[in-house]
Amino acid sequence: MYVRTLIVMLAFILAAGYLGVQLFRLQIIEHEENLGKVLDNLMQVTVIKAERGTIYDRNMQKLAQNITTYRVFISPADIEDDETRVHISKELSKILDVPYNTIYEKTLKEKRKDETIKEHVDKETADKVRELINQYGYKRQIYLQTTSKRYYAYENLAAQVIGYLGTDGGLFGLELQYNDALTGTDGKYITARNAKNESMPSKYDVKIDPQNGYSLVTTLDMNLQAILENQLRATYEENLAGNNVCGIIMDVDTGAVLAMATNWGFDLNDPFTLVGDYAQQLEQSELETNSTEYNNLKWELIYSMWRNKCVSDTYEPGSTFKIITSAIGLETGAVTADSVLTCNGKQHVSGVDISCHKKAGHGTNSFSYLLQQSCNPAMMQIAERIGTKTFWQYFEAFGYLTKTGIDLPAEAAGINHSFSGFHSVEMATSSFGQTFKTTPIQQLTAICTIANGGHVITPYVVESLIDSDGNVVVSGEKESKRQIVSSEVCAQLAEILEGGVIDGVARNAYVAGYHVAAKTGTSEKRDEEDETLRVGSTVAFAPANDPEIAVLIMVDEPGGAVKSGGTVAAPYVARVIDESLQYLNVGRSYTDEELASMSYQMPDFVGETVVNAQAELSKAGLSYKVIGEGSEIYAQLPLSGEQLSKENGLVYLYAYDPASEEQPSHETEQQTVPDVKGMKVSAAIVVLTNKGFNVNITGSLNYEEGTGAQVSGQSVSPGTSLPVGSVITLVSMHTDVYDQ
């Protein structure tokens, strides 16, 4: 009996041991799997969306933000009869502008509890829906759900840079580049649901707060962006760019991108709708709407429209690169500002003749002059003195061999020679910016190095990431890597370049009152079959003596008669600089020469004595004509505040006798405004002043030199009748600049 009892005990122990093993398997080995099943089936996880960060410009204007919208959905399962179906469909159709049939079909899906009728409904419409729900007691049939929508307040400004938020994150631009930081981490609200799908006691609830996304404070300035985009649009239209235009404004010291634009900014709130030229291309394709080819083309065009040309496209920088060649030459001592070089119209390099854009040659002249005239052989000679190895080292140091590392997606790398294939011919062509390709941002970054006194910088768009409490989390400014050119050389170079603006091929980049250092460039598109295709571009920085901003405008495939960068880009760069520096409160400083030829701002002479006015005008060097009898002036033309050129200026003063009781009156002589567009500026001035008008000239300086600048625009359209003495503003522009 005792032994058998022991056997029973043993049997129990064995059985218990087996169960222990089973427990171990279930609870320890298969624990994760079982836990997962429990959680999957039992826990209802509600995601609390982390709020996406806002994108600000540097003035804390919201470029991209979240706005509250509503989703309207119905629960067909809760609609009892057809009468209700019809009523709901009809009312919702009215409020939401959704076809009646679409809604009615959804109401027929009897088993569904959530059929979306319309998403991203604004608050006003949502209120109407709410009213409908309350009025007819549709609380179980119609629902409103708060959702969020990305809203881009500036619509088409900096569209390619800001980017767009698609359903799965940013699609391009900053929204893509900083997607992770902007997104944040979603929170969770885990509520337990029992088998009947009812809430379980709250002790099972777990709330994990969302970590809201960081906001971006960008370096962009929407005012500068607007200035830049206006000029890009102007040059695009006036010079018939075949492959679009782009431009950048950069802070020369930090590399902060103040504005960056590619023409044809589309509305970021509707980025899938083609605009401008892209829409036209689709239309002109004459493909059947919604056919496969049509859709393929459409998407292709949408992607090109989204493309940020400034960082994703490469081009041969052409003569704008001569700044770099010159900097290397000056820095290495291969050349000085006063070195004398000779241009015979071509240069013989390793058995190959490479010609200058001026076939006759620039003759023997100083290096400064030749750079200002954008002479190719001069550059080749300097490069030869520098030597391939040193040239290559500097080429690399200026950042042409690597991406700039700007914080924007899809940055293209330049297309370059390899060092082993970089011989004298390659160096000769490279010295004036051909046979290699760079991105606009790369080119302007290199120019900034010259502008800021020789420091290599990294361009960037995001100044800082800030959390939802406004604390700065990450700062975007990169420290200057190193100085590769001495500040003396840079200053010297800036002076030479400024000279080129006053009296060189960069004349169109002139801005009255600001010292501008600029270099224009026109490059062949040697990888295209069409040999007439050009890229016209201009780089500039200002003020030349203490640079603040650098500007680049690149016009890809200008389609007009004149394709040189000095014509298709430089005037627009000048206007960008003019407006930008004005906006940035950089004071103007005029040279004596400028002051002399400058326009005169009319003071208010009304109420003044004729004698005083005459004295004032004489002092300023202006002619005047007094009409009427008397000692006091009651009217004047040009009006107070108007600008007029001192040259040939004639002021009409209307005088009366304050003692007499007669009302002062006079007859003004009217003249018809002639068409002076296309005329030489000097000729236009003569034509207009002969008619008795006053003239105000804007645009490039030195319009009387060379073959002369032309009038590219006049403020009053031809045929208008105006009183004599009125001011007509002319825009002058040089069309004779060659800068290849």
Residues lying near other proteins in the complex (CB under 8 A): 1-2, 4-5, 7-9, 12-13, 15-16, 18-20, 22-24, 26-28, 30-31, 33-35, 37-39, 41-43, 192, 194-196, 200, 203-204
Amino acid identity, residue 478? K
Q: Is the peptide bond before 543 cis (omega within 30 degrees of 0)?
A: yes
Least separation in angstroms between residue 188's CB and other proteins is 16
Cα separation, 400 vs 256, in Å, equals 19
Least separation in angstroms between residue 194's CB and other proteins is 4
- Identify which of residues 26 and 639 has a Cβ nearer to other proteins in the complex: 26
- Identify which of residues 32 and 168 has a Cβ nearer to other proteins in the complex: 32
Write out the DSSP string of 253-268: TT-BEEEEEESS---T
Amino acid identity, residue 179? N
Least separation in angstroms between residue 3's CB and other proteins is 10
Beta bridge partners of 347: 354
- H or E stretch at 382: helix 376-386
Beta bridge partners of 654: 627, 635
Cα–Cα–Cα angle for 682, 685, 686, nearest 5°? 90
- Identify which of residues 12 and 303 has a Cβ nearer to other proteins in the complex: 12
- Identify which of residues 24 and 419 has a Cβ nearer to other proteins in the complex: 24
List b or e across 587-597, with b for residues whose CB sees 16 or more CB atoms inside 10 angstroms: eeeeeeeeeeb
Closest CA to 675 of 660, 688, 663: 688
Amino acid identity, residue 720? T
- Identify which of residues 31 and 666 has a Cβ nearer to other proteins in the complex: 31
Cα separation, 440 vs 328, in Å, equals 20
Cβ atoms of 543 and 585 within 8 Å: the answer is no
Closest CA to 235 of 555, 644, 652, 636: 555
Least separation in angstroms between residue 9's CB and other proteins is 5
Least separation in angstroms between residue 289's CB and other proteins is 50
Least separation in angstroms between residue 4's CB and other proteins is 5
Write out the DSSP string of 68-87: EEEEEEE-GGG--SHHHHHH
Least separation in angstroms between residue 186's CB and other proteins is 23
Structure tokens at 375: 């002479």
- Identify which of residues 18 and 419 has a Cβ nearer to other proteins in the complex: 18
Amino acid identity, residue 143? Y
Least separation in angstroms between residue 110's CB and other proteins is 24
Structure tokens at 354: 């490479």
Least separation in angstroms between residue 18's CB and other proteins is 7
Sign of CA dihedral 389, 392, 396, 398: positive
- Identify which of residues 151 and 204 has a Cβ nearer to other proteins in the complex: 204
Least separation in angstroms between residue 208's CB and other proteins is 18
Least separation in angstroms between residue 190's CB and other proteins is 11
- Identify which of residues 25 and 348 has a Cβ nearer to other proteins in the complex: 25
DSSP-derived letter for residue 679 is S
Least separation in angstroms between residue 45's CB and other proteins is 13
DSSP-derived letter for residue 507 is G
Cα separation, 74 vs 144, in Å, equals 9
- Identify which of residues 3 and 561 has a Cβ nearer to other proteins in the complex: 3
* N-to-C CA span, the chain: 116
Cα separation, 493 vs 449, in Å, equals 12
- Identify which of residues 37 and 207 has a Cβ nearer to other proteins in the complex: 37
Structure tokens at 119: 């998403």
- Identify which of residues 12 and 583 has a Cβ nearer to other proteins in the complex: 12
Sign of CA dihedral 664, 665, 669, 672: positive
Cα separation, 709 vs 20, in Å, equals 100
- Identify which of residues 16 and 340 has a Cβ nearer to other proteins in the complex: 16
